[in-house]
């Protein structure tokens, strides 16, 4: 997963639960439920990313490209293993924690199946980056132990630089490619944001934690600001790809 420009995990902002460790913060049942949801969503996301990269490798034009994607897929699976092991450590069954997020993530991937190698690269770069932005927003509100794990599994596996290099080279070779990929990236952005909003809205504990523990539920203004930050980061990544936002 890629690292966005708008990281929100500065130590100066760590107050409340974010200044505590897991042993202390997990005594709150609602907080514990939110963390289980988060780790379950992340774990299934990493497992799906592994599967997708393995599939994308079949579309790669060269053996070197296949090998690079295989290495990235391996890194994603390692991230999945860390999340699965953490769920087990805190007494949760990993499969049960992942199940609520399978339909949304599978639906996203079904709606955004790439038709060629370049679309697959853009999807991995744009889609994974939007997911990383979303989870980093959540990470700013996590206890120190969980935050450290979440930020570690959001580390870039190398796909960002690889995708930028290959997409920009393709556009240089044929500028007409840029228009098609720009439309594709906008579609990905819309689908990814819709998926993220559904996940937040459907999981009460996670949504309450995300907006800072609002006692009476969902703070739409704060969620709107969060998605505005995610959109701004997306615009910068589009520029890096050489595509119009």
Q: Any idea how long the chain is?
A: 245
pLDDT tier, 90 (very low <50, low <70, confident <90, very high otherwise): very high
6 part of a folded domain = no
Give the per-residue pLDDT at 234: 85
Q: What is the pLDDT of residue 10?
A: 43
Residue 8 lies in a domain: no
Over residues 130-146, the mean pLDDT reads: 85
pLDDT tens digits for range 31-89: 899 899 999 999 999 999 899 888 888 889 999 999 988 888 898 999 999 999 999 99
% pLDDT > 70, the chain? 87
Stronger pLDDT, 67 or 15, i.e. the higher one? 67
Residue 235 in any domain: the answer is yes
Q: Which of 76-80, 205-209, 227-231 has the lowest mean pLDDT?
A: 205-209
Mean pLDDT (the chain) is 83
In a domain? residue 54: yes
CA–CA–CA angle 152, 148, 233 (5° rounding): 60
State the pLDDT at residue 137: 80
| CB-neighbour burial class of residue 193 (10 A; exposed 0-12, middle 13-18, buried 19+) | middle
Read off the pTM. 0.82
Does residue 1 fall inside a structural domain?
A: no
Residue 135 resides in a domain: yes
Q: Which residue has the higher pLDDT, 101 or 7?
A: 101
From residue 158, alpha-carbon distances to 7, 124, 163, 244 in Å are: 18, 11, 9, 23
Domain assignment present for residue 7? The answer is no
Domain assignment of residue 201, given as a range: 14-241
4 lies in a domain? Answer: no
Number of domains in the chain: 1
Instruction: Summarize the confidence of residues 211-221 as an average pLDDT.
Output: 52
Return all residues near 142 (Cβ < 8 A) that are at least 6 apart.
17, 18, 35, 38, 150
The stretch 146-167 carries a mean pLDDT of 87
Note whether 232 and 6 are within 8 A (CB): yes
DSSP 188: H
Determine what percent of the chain falls in helix, strand and coil, rounding each to the nearest 5: 75, 0, 25
CATH of the domain at 102: 1.20.1260.10
Cα separation, 77 vs 43, whole angstroms: 9
């Amino acid at each position: 997963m890629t690292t966005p420009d708008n990281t929100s995990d500065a130590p100066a902002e760590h107050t409340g639960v974010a200044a505590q460790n897991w042993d202390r913060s997990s005594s709150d049942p609602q907080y514990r439920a939110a963390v289980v949801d988060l780790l379950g969503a992340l774990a299934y996301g990493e497992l799906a990313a592994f599967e997708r990269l393995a599939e994308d490798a079949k579309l790669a034009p060269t053996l070197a490209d296949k090998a690079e994607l295989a290495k990235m897929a391996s890194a994603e699976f390692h991230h999945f293993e860390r999340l699965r092991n953490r769920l087990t450590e805190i007494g949760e069954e990993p499969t049960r924690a992942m199940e609520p997020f399978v339909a949304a993530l599978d639906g996203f991937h079904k709606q955004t199946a790439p038709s060629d190698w370049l679309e697959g690269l853009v999807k991995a770069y744009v889609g994974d980056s939007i997911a990383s932005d979303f989870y980093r927003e959540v990470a700013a509100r996590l206890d120190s132990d969980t935050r450290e794990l979440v930020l570690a599994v959001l580390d870039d596996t190398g796909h960002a630089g690889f995708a930028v290099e290959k997409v920009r080279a393709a556009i240089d070779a044929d500028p007409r490619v840029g228009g098609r990929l720009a439309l594709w990236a906008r579609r990905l952005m819309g689908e990814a944001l819709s998926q993220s909003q559904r996940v937040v809205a459907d999981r009460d504990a996670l949504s309450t934690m995300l907006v800072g523990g609002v006692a009476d539920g969902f703070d739409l203004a704060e969620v709107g600001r969060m998605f505005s930050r995610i959109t701004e980061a997306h615009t910068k990544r589009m520029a890096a790809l050489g595509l119009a936002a």
